[in-house]
A and B are shown apart, each in its own frame.
Chain A
Amino acid sequence: SQQGEEDPQALSIQEGENATMNCSYKTSINNLQWYRQNSGRGLVHLILIRSNEREKHSGRLRVTLDTSKKSSSLLITASRAADTASYFCATDAGSGGSNYKLTFGKGTLLTVNP
């Protein structure tokens, strides 16, 4: 089974609109993290939310976590063309001990049109 599946696979919006991406996972976690990857580049860490947190903000980013539904959402408000990138959620292995082993989904490709 695949941990950390993002939805939708692709999202296209106009500059100024909000973008919402979702992530579902299957097993218990300690933390869930969101990363951004610009085309052909490395990953940039955006935000980490712990399993005992429900919501977290960072600038124009808002992340929610619902452990009962095993899902998270990333909201980018007032999007800009520079937000165009792929967004990945990454989960760790929860209580199994190997919480260093991040599992990534295939990502959501966000395109923000000027």
Chain B
Amino acid sequence: NAGVMQNPRHLVRRRGQEARLRCSPMKGHSHVYWYRQLPEEGLKFMVYLQKENIIDESGMPKERFSAEFPKEGPSILRIQQVVRGDSAAYFCASSPTRQYNEQFFGPGTRLTVL
């Protein structure tokens, strides 16, 4: 059973460009979570999605950031008009159920904004 897959693993963007990060949850998992980790920091919750629904996006900046989890295909975290402060590691996690969560994390996408 493959784990959570994220791609790309490393992404370099210039200021003002768009970044698209992809996450494929573990097989059988329908709940996806995105977290951001700044250097020397712990992970910070961004958004929680189920198939075709955003459940909680309270940790996501209101502007430039969006997330989706379509019926088919991976979950996408999209950052428009990136700025240097967006440079971070973005982790996706998945779980089969909300209760007594054991969230399984992907390897992360390291975004560098030049």
Contact = CB atoms under 8 A, between A and B. Distances in A.
B49 to A, nearest CB: 11
Nearest to A88: B42
Contacts of B33: 100, 102
A106 B41 contact: yes
B106 A101 contact: no
Contacts of B42: 4, 88, 104-107
A90 B35 CA distance: 12
Size class of the A contact interface (CB-based, 8 Å): 20 to 34
A41 B107 contact: yes
Interface residues of B, number: 28
Interface string A100-114: 111111110000000
Given A100-B95, A106-B40, A106-B42, A45 B101 contact: no
Interface of A: 4, 30-31, 33, 35, 40-45, 48, 50, 88, 90, 92, 98-107
24 contacts: A4-B42, A30-B100, A33-B102, A41-B108, A42-B91, A42-B108, A43-B43, A43-B105, A45-B102, A88-B42, A92-B101, A98-B56, A99-B99, A99-B101, A100-B33, A100-B101, A101-B48, A101-B58, A102-B101, A104-B35, A104-B42, A104-B44, A106-B40, A107-B42
